[in-house]
C-alpha cells in the first residue's frame, strides 16, 4: 500500500490530471471548474496546467453543456462533465438519460458515448431537499450507463481513472461530505476495475452491502455491533452498474443473513434490486428475508436532527441487523 | 393561415439565367435534382409501406422540404458533421445514405442503418457523418453544438491546427421554444462554436401554427441575435437559393469559427406524422405552397437552362422509381434482427448479459468498398 496520504478530492483531481496528460481527448467542463478552482476545489490548479481549452468554465446551463459534451463524445472525445451537485443534473435529464446511455444502441453500434458525469451526490450537509439528491435510485434504472460510487480516496482515484478510459457513459457519484476524507492513495497509474466489490470488514453473522458514503455508516454500525457479539461482514460494492452480485452472494452464503444499506429512497432502488437478487440467489441460505436501510421515504429535511435521522445512519443499520438476526 | 411566408418568392429567381443564379456546375444541379426526386419517391413509398403496416411507430414525411436538406448538405463538406430531428429520412438520403439501409431501418430489419433498433426517427450513418435522427424536439441542438465543439477541439487542441469544420444542427420551428435550444445557442455564442442552427421553418409545430406558439414568429432570427449569433433568412423552396445562401454562411462560420442561425422558410406538404388529418390548416394554404414545389422549380430552371429536357426528366424519374423499388425489395429481404441483438450494443464491452457491440452493415459495407 502506498504510504502517501491525501484527501478524497485530491485523489479525484489526480485521476483527472493523469488521464488528461495521457490523452488530449480528455477535457473537463462544468460550472466553476476553472477560474474558481472548482466549487469544492476538486479541480484546483488544473486550469494552470491544462489551460482554458481543456478546463472549461460553463455557465449555469446543465442541459446545454451536458448535451454539448455528449455531442463531443460522439465525435470521439472523452469529456468529463462536472455537476456541482448531482441534484442539478435533473435539469439535464434528457441529454444524460435519453442521449448518452442510448446512443450506442439506437445507432446500432455506430456511435458510443465515452463520457463521465461526476459530482456530489447525497444528503448530509443540511442543504434541504432540492440540493440533497441521491440519484442512485433514479439513474441506475437506466440501461446503457455505468455507475461508480467510491467510498475511499484510493477508489476515488482508481474508479475515476477507469471511468475516464471506459468507452461507455459513466455516472460517477461523489459525496461532498467525504471530499476531505484522507487515505492512502497510490501515486502513478491506479485503475480499479468496475464490477468488483470489496470486503471492507470480514464477519460471520450478517452481510452488510452498501455503496459510497453509507459504507462508513456500516463500518460504524459493525463496530458497535461487535461489542454486542455480532460479527458483521461489510461489502463496499464500489460500482452499482455493473453490480458485483457474486461477491455479495458468496458472503451471504457464509453469513446466511443480509442487510442492504442504500442512501437512495427505498422504492425502486439499488437496495431493492440487490435484495431481489440476493433472494433469488440465496433463497435456501437465508435465515431471514433481506432487510433494507434507506434514506427515509420523505423529502430531505433541513433540520440537523431530522436530516441525521433521515439518513441510513449507524443506529438504523444496527437496528436492522438485530432484527435480521432475531436479536430483541 | 400560418404567417410563414417565402421571403424571396416574388423574386421569381427561376427566370434568371442559371449561370447568373448559381456557381453550381451542371453536374451538381443534376445531382440535386436526382437527390430531391429520390427523397420524394422514397417518401411516397414510405407512406405506402406505412399504410401496409410494414413500418411501425411514428413516421414523419419530408415531402415539400427536399430543397432544404439537399441544398444545405451540398453547401458543406462531407466531413462536416450533421444532426437532425425526427423528420430525418431526407437528411439521411441527402447525406448519401443508400436508401436501402434507410428503408430496412424502418422495416425493423438487421440491414437497417441501426440494425432496426432506431426506426424512422433515428437514422444514423457514421460513414456519411450523420449523427442522428433524434426523437425529442430540440434535444439535437446541444448535440449539434457538441459536434462542432468536438470537431474544432480535434482540429485545434488535438491536431494543433486551425478549425476546418462546421456542423449543421437542423431543427423545426417547433423546437424554437425548447430550453435546450437556448442553452445551446448561448454556449455556441459564448465559446465561438462553428455550428449552424438550420431552422426548417414549415410554419407548424405539429398542429400549432408558429404564431400560436412562438413570440417574434415573423423574425425568429431575433432569438439567435439574443445570443450574439448572426441570423439569416432564406427561401427553402428553391434548392439553388438554399445552396447559395448556405454556402456563404457555412464558409463564413468555418473561417471565423462562429455560429449562425438560419431561418429557412419551407412547407411540409404532408401532415406532421402519418396519423395527422391536417385539420389545423386550409386546403387553400396547402395548394398555395404545392404550386411552389421545389422539384418543379429546379426542373423548370434546368429545362430553361438547357440542362435537361422533358424526356431526360422522365427517364431520371423512372430510374429513381426503379431504385426505390429495389430498396424496398432489399429491405423486405433483410431478416429481422436475431433475438440476441436485444442485448447487443448496450455497452461497448461485453459484461453480464450484454454481448458487446459491432458495426451494422452500413458501416461494414462502406469499409469494404473503400
Q: Where are the domains of chain A?
A: 5-184, 198-324
pLDDT of residue B269: 93
pLDDT of A328 reads: 72
Residues A21-46 have a mean pLDDT of 98
pLDDT of residue B275: 87
Q: Do A198-324 and A5-184 fall under one CATH topology?
A: yes
CATH architecture of A198-324: 3-Layer(aba) Sandwich (3.40)
- Mutating which of B144, B181, B183, B359 best tests the A interface, going by the most A Cβ atoms within 10 A? B183
Nearest to B151 among A75, A109, A143 (CB): A75
Span B185-214, pLDDT tens digits: 999 999 999 999 999 999 999 999 999 999
Q: Which fold has domain A5-184?
A: Rossmann fold (3.40.50)
pLDDT tens-place string over residues A56-110: 999 999 999 999 999 999 999 999 999 999 999 999 999 999 999 999 999 999 9
SS3 A268: coil
Q: Which pLDDT band holds residue B7 (cuts at 50, 70, 90)? A: very low
Map out the domains of chain B with their CATH numbers. 18-337 (3.40.50.970), 339-370 (no CATH)
Contacts of B83 in chain A (CB under 8 A): 71
| Interval A248-294: pLDDT, tens | 999 999 999 999 999 999 999 999 999 999 999 999 999 999 999 99
In this model, does residue B84 exceed pLDDT 60? yes
Min Cα distance A60 → chain B (Å) is: 9
The whole-model pTM stands at 0.96
Distances (CA, A) of A299 to A129, A130, B58, B85: 6, 8, 38, 37
Burial of B78 per CB tally in 10 Å (0-12, 13-18, 19+):
exposed
The single residue listed with the C-alpha cell 450478517 is A206
B chain contacts of residue A27, beta-carbon cutoff 8 Å: 153, 157
DSSP secondary structure letter of residue B336: P
pLDDT exceeds 70 at position A313: yes
- Structure confidence at residue A1 as a pLDDT band (50, 70, 90): low
Is 0.90 exceeded by the ipTM?
A: yes
What is the pLDDT, as a whole number, of residue B1?
A: 43
Helices (H), A23-109: 46-50, 62-74, 93, 103-106
Is A216 catalytic? The answer is no
Is residue B154 scored above 80 in pLDDT? yes
- Looking at chain A, which residue has its C-alpha nearest residue B343? A105
- Give CA–CA dist A36/A51, Å, rounded: 13
Residues 6+ apart with CB under 8 A from A144: A100, A101, A102, A104, A105, A168, A169, B346, B347
Residues of A in contact with B349 (CB under 8 A): 167-168
pLDDT for residue A3: 81
Please report which confidence band the pLDDT of residue A10 belongs to, taking 50, 70 and 90 as the band edges: very high
Q: Which of B136, B186, B352 sits opposite A98 (nearest CB)?
A: B136
Q: Please report which confidence band the pLDDT of residue A124 belongs to, taking 50, 70 and 90 as the band edges.
A: confident
Average pLDDT estimate for A27-32? 98
Average pLDDT of every residue of chain B: 94
- Any idea how long chain A is? 328
* Mean pLDDT, rounded, of chain A: 97
Mean local confidence (pLDDT), A205-228? 98
Amino acid at each position: 500500500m502506498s504510504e502517501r496520504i491525501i484527501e478524497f478530492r485530491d485523489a479525484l483531481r489526480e485521476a483527472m490530471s493523469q488521464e488528461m496528460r495521457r490523452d488530449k481527448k480528455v477535457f473537463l467542463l462544468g460550472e466553476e471548474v476553472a477560474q474558481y478552482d472548482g466549487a469544492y476545489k476538486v479541480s484546483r490548479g488544473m486550469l494552470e496546467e491544462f489551460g482554458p481549452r481543456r478546463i472549461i468554465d460553463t455557465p449555469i446551463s446543465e442541459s446545454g453543456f451536458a448535451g454539448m459534451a455528449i455531442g463531443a463524445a460522439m465525435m470521439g472525445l472523452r469529456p468529463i462533465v462536472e455537476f456541482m451537485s448531482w441534484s442539478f443534473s435533473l435539469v439535464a435529464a434528457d441529454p444524460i438519460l435519453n442521449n448518452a446511455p442510448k446512443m450506442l444502441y439506437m445507432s446500432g453500434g455506430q456511435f458510443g458515448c465515452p463520457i463521465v458525469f461526476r459530482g456530489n451526490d447525497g444528503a448530509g450537509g443540511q442543504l434541504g431537499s432540492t440540493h440533497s439528491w441521491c440519484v442512485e435510485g433514479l439513474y441506475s434504472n437506466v440501461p446503457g450507463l455505468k455507475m461508480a460510487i467510491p467510498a475511499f480516496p484510493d477508489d476515488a482515484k482508481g474508479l475515476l481513472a477507469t471511468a475516464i478510459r471506459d468507452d461507455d457513459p459513466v455516472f460517477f457519484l461523489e459525496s461532498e461530505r467525504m471530499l476531505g476524507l484522507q487515505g492512502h492513495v497510490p501515486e502513478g497509474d491506479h485503475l480499479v476495475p468496475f464490477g468488483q466489490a470489496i470486503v471492507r470488514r470480514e464477519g460471520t453473522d450478517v452481510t452488510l452491502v452498501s455503496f459510497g458514503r453509507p459504507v462508513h455508516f456500516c463500518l460504524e454500525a459493525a463496530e458497535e455491533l461487535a461489542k454486542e457479539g455480532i460479527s458483521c461482514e461489510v461489502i463496499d460494492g464500489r460500482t452499482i452498474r455493473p453490480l458485483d452480485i457474486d461477491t455479495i452472494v458468496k458472503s451471504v452464503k457464509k453469513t446466511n443473513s443480509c442487510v442492504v444499506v442504500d442512501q437512495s429512497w427505498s422504492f425502486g432502488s439499488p437496495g431493492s434490486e440487490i435484495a431481489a437478487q440476493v433472494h433469488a440467489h440465496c433463497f435456501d441460505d437465508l435465515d431471514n428475508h433481506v432487510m433494507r436501510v434507506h434514506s427515509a421515504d420523505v423529502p430531505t429535511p433541513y433540520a440537523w436532527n431530522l436530516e441525521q435521522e433521515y439518513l441510513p445512519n449507524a443506529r438504523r443499520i444496527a437496528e436492522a441487523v438485530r432484527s435480521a438476526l432475531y436479536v430483541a | 393561415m400560418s404567417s410563414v411566408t417565402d421571403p424571396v418568392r416574388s423574386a421569381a429567381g427561376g427566370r434568371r439565367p442559371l449561370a447568373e443564379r448559381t456557381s453550381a456546375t451542371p453536374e451538381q444541379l443534376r445531382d440535386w435534382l436526382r437527390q430531391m426526386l429520390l427523397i420524394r419517391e422514397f417518401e411516397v413509398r414510405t407512406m405506402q409501406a406505412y399504410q401496409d403496416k410494414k413500418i411501425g411507430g411514428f413516421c414523419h414525411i419530408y415531402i415539400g422540404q427536399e430543397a432544404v436538406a439537399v441544398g444545405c448538405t451540398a453547401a458543406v463538406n462531407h466531413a462536416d458533421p450533421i444532426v437532425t430531428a425526427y423528420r430525418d429520412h431526407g437528411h439521411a438520403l441527402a447525406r448519401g445514405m443508400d436508401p436501402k439501409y434507410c428503408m430496412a431501418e424502418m422495416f425493423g430489419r438487421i440491414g437497417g442503418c441501426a440494425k432496426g433498433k432506431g426506426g424512422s426517427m433515428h437514422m444514423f450513418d457514421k460513414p456519411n457523418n450523420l449523427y442522428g435522427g433524434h426523437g425529442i424536439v430540440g434535444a439535437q441542438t446541444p448535440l449539434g453544438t457538441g459536434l462542432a465543439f468536438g470537431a474544432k477541439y480535434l482540429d485545434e487542441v488535438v491536431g494543433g491546427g486551425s478549425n476546418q469544420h462546421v456542423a449543421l444542427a437542423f431543427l423545426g420551428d417547433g423546437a424554437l421554444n425548447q430550453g435546450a435550444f437556448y442553452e445551446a445557442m448561448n454556449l455556441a455564442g459564448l465559446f465561438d462554436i462553428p455550428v449552424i442552427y438550420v431552422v426548417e421553418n414549415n410554419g407548424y409545430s405539429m398542429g400549432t401554427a408558429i404564431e400560436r406558439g412562438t413570440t417574434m414568429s415573423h423574425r425568429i432570427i431575433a432569438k439567435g441575435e439574443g445570443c450574439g449569433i448572426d441570423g439569416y433568412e432564406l427561401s427553402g423552396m428553391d434548392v439553388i437559393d438554399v445552396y447559395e445562401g448556405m454556402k456563404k454562411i457555412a464558409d463564413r462560420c468555418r473561417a471565423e469559427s462562429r455560429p449562425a442561425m438560419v431561418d429557412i422558410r419551407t412547407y411540409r406538404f404532408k401532415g406532421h406524422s402519418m396519423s395527422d388529418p391536417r385539420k389545423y390548416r386550409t386546403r387553400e394554404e396547402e395548394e398555395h405552397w404545392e404550386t411552389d414545389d421545389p422539384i418543379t422549380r429546379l426542373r423548370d430552371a434546368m429545362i430553361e437552362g438547357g440542362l435537361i429536357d422533358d424526356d431526360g426528366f422522365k427517364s431520371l424519374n423512372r430510374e429513381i422509381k426503379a431504385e426505390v423499388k429495389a430498396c424496398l425489395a432489399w429491405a423486405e429481404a433483410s431478416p429481422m434482427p436475431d433475438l440476441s441483438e436485444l442485448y447487443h450494443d448496450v455497452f461497448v464491452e461485453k459484461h453480464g448479459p450484454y454481448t458487446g457491440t459491432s458495426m451494422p452493415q452500413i458501416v461494414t459495407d462502406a469499409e469494404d468498398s473503400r
